[in-house]
A = this chain, B = another copy of it.
């Protein structure tokens, strides 16, 4: 759904709501729901958070969470202290248990709210996480989008083609390092694809597939991409002072312990308690899983090949050209389903493996997810390339032995090199279609707009959409206050929006990269196709982040983590696979001698290691501007400190941060920010040319949306009124109970609960 463009009251802000929890309950068992809801509000209250409750869509309540200024400010301070203790930041923040500070960015503040809501109770959190553990009924737990900031981003992104460093800073300031790093990586990958596409297409035009020159160049290009990104990643981590964040191990909440977390003598909480040996044992089943999955997919592929053989050889009727391809196409189309099944199994396995920290859990899950993708998408192609086509000759005799002579006589026809190419083409196109359908914003945007349009038609059958009009008195509760209705309807939309999992997108890129690295030699247009897909979907990803998806919890990271290891692995495998494919298919497959193939592979592998070593050395030595600047800065600060040993010099150890803020009025801040960042960067580097050009331009559109002081005052009043409904947690609980009862009465009367409460008062007017 599109959350923002055609909303009328989009000017309104979030009424002081920091976080929203959507509590879904079973309409039939009201008492259990009431009990659970009561626990929820109490937990939040114990963590020092203020709450309000409104009804959501369906049988759900929306709990609005506000972190009071003192609580939040101290939490931010504590997070800074933790950063210092973990070595992420150089300087000890001065303060005590009363210290209250501002976050540098909205993301930092929201991260602290996130920690208060989802963090462990003995860390001061409320332990409320969506869809996990005892809070299975909480279906969403998210911060609200900031409409004004999003509008600013929308305007900016509509004008630019390439994300500058400042754009990434803005993304980071709003959505956290994880999301910003994903987009930085996506853009870097786009450039890599563009380079690969140009080379490969030119080579395809002049030399056709299986070109040795292209293979060498593209293998090197893959290595360069991976190593270059490593440097970029460090660059960004320094820029956002999140370097070393990956090392700090935030404990996972839903971790099974051997002993209670309190009972350990060393006061070490989870690491030691859940023994390493035990955990290693728990990791064994994944191998069984991988082998089983490979066997099943392998068998599936074999069946498809046999069917294809049967059809192409035996069937002589109409649509033969189409039917010949049917098995491969149906194989390709069934793979996503298989993959999603494997993915679920992988997640379950990872849950079972019970990692002590979130980072380890993510890494293990990503690894398994990629493994399942690898088995689904690449195994069939690898089987075709290295077993089916080269050994096709020998399949005949072995079928002979099984007395299927009529089949065996016809087999050799298939062992031509075009078969691999065809299969690569169909797999790549299948992947493109899938990813395009999933990602492409324009397509789905149009669809959703049409739905919205239907929704707003004046002559729609009102009964279906507004069952409460004829409801009894308790249902009056379910009618929104006119002042809040716009806001609430937006929150309801956001609460039902899809959640953005950066890791999934990264894995999709890994799969693309895999096709390109492994089978690019067979069909050199692979990078061109992916380039098309990437540049369309990458932009729509950007817009979807602000317009269609739940705002992600602004997590920090200094690396794309598991994906990086996957990319390295794929680049290595790609070298081998490319060499083998070129060697096999360059001439007649049947005339290739095994020893020469193996020699090629062996030499290629050594070549890969040597090349990677040199590329890495060179790239890391040259480094990036930011890395050099950081080193210069540290050097300068150290010298200054060593001269004076003063507190002030010690404070300078603080890493240079590009400060970006999106407050009530986004556009003003953008200007200040630009000024700030120019001023800040001039200390260390000259501002780039195009930046200054851009810097003046955005003022015109921003002025349009600039809001007056009266607007601000009105907003503040609205916010106060919103939070004054229930003062104490007990009031929230009572209000919630009333809502639960009202909703369950409504559903018992057989009426559907409105999907959008905002419409009701409008009709009532």
User: Given A594-B595, A632-B272, A641-B85, are A621 and B280 also a contact pair (CB < 8 Å)?
Assistant: yes
Q: CB of A78 within 8 A of chain B? A: yes
Looking at the complex, which one of B266, B593, B634 makes contact with A632 (CB distance below 8 Å)?
B266
Looking at the complex, which one of B622, B636, B643, B650 makes contact with A266 (CB distance below 8 Å)?
B636
17 example contacts (A-B, Cβ-Cβ < 8 A) are as follows A81-B641, A81-B645, A82-B642, A85-B638, A97-B644, A266-B636, A268-B628, A269-B635, A272-B628, A276-B621, A276-B623, A277-B622, A279-B621, A280-B618, A595-B598, A598-B599, A602-B605
A85-108 to B contact mask, C-beta < 8 Å, 1/0:
101001010011101000000000
Q: How far is the CA of A307 from the CA of B635 in the complex (A)?
A: 61
Q: How far is the CA of A622 from the CA of B283 in the complex (A)?
A: 14
User: Given A594-B595, A595-B593, A622-B277, are A271 and B628 also a contact pair (CB < 8 Å)?
Assistant: yes
User: Given A645-B97, A650-B92, are A632 and B268 also a contact pair (CB < 8 Å)?
Assistant: yes
- Contact yes or no, A87 B90, CB < 8 A: yes
Q: CB of A473 within 8 A of chain B? A: no
Query: Smallest CB-CB separation from A599: which chain B residue?
Result: B598
A263-284 to B contact mask, C-beta < 8 Å, 1/0:
0001111011000110110000
* A287-330, CB < 8 A from B: none
Q: CB of A721 within 8 A of chain B? A: no
CB of A96 to closest CB in B, whole Å: 5
- Contact yes or no, A78 B642, CB < 8 A: yes
Interface residue tally of chain A, by bracket?
35 or more
Q: CB of A452 within 8 A of chain B? A: no
Q: CB of A191 within 8 A of chain B? A: no
Q: How far is the CA of A726 from the CA of B156 in the complex (A)?
A: 76
CB of A655 to closest CB in B, whole Å: 12
Query: Which residues of B have CB within 8 Å of A272?
Result: 628, 631-632
Q: CB of A601 within 8 A of chain B? A: yes
Q: CB of A675 within 8 A of chain B? A: no
Q: How far is the CA of A623 from the CA of B272 in the complex (A)?
A: 11
A569-607 to B contact mask, C-beta < 8 Å, 1/0:
000000000000000000000000111001101100100
Query: Which residues of B have CB within 8 Å of A95?
Result: 645
* A71-85, CB < 8 A from B: 78, 81-82, 85
CB of A269 to closest CB in B, whole Å: 7
Query: Which residues of B have CB within 8 Å of A637?
Result: 85
Query: Smallest CB-CB separation from A360: which chain B residue?
Result: B621
Q: CB of A348 within 8 A of chain B? A: no
Looking at the complex, which one of B269, B271, B602 makes contact with A602 (CB distance below 8 Å)?
B602
* A527-581, CB < 8 A from B: none
Q: How far is the CA of A33 from the CA of B92 in the complex (A)?
A: 53
Query: Which residues of B have CB within 8 Å of A344?
Result: none
Q: How far is the CA of A653 from the CA of B81 in the complex (A)?
A: 13
Query: Which residues of B have CB within 8 Å of A594?
Result: 595, 599
Q: CB of A707 within 8 A of chain B? A: no
* A247-270, CB < 8 A from B: 266-269
Other A-B pairs, 11, CB within 8 Å; known A78-B642, A266-B632, A601-B602: A85-B641, A85-B653, A266-B629, A268-B632, A276-B622, A276-B623, A277-B622, A280-B618, A598-B601, A598-B602, A605-B605
Q: CB of A639 within 8 A of chain B? A: yes
Q: How far is the CA of A599 from the CA of B599 in the complex (A)?
A: 9
CB of A618 to closest CB in B, whole Å: 6
CB of A631 to closest CB in B, whole Å: 6
Which 5 pairs of residues, A with B, have the shortest CB-CB distance?
A598-B598, A595-B595, A268-B632, A266-B632, A594-B595
Q: CB of A207 within 8 A of chain B? A: no
Query: Which residues of B have CB within 8 Å of A87?
Result: 87, 90
Q: CB of A684 within 8 A of chain B? A: yes
- Contact yes or no, B602 A642, CB < 8 A: no
CB of A433 to closest CB in B, whole Å: 34
- Contact yes or no, A268 B598, CB < 8 A: no
- Contact yes or no, B96 A645, CB < 8 A: yes
- Contact yes or no, B638 A82, CB < 8 A: yes
CB of A539 to closest CB in B, whole Å: 35
Query: Smallest CB-CB separation from A620: which chain B residue?
Result: B276
Query: Which residues of B have CB within 8 Å of A641?
Result: 81, 85
Q: How far is the CA of A87 from the CA of B90 in the complex (A)?
A: 8
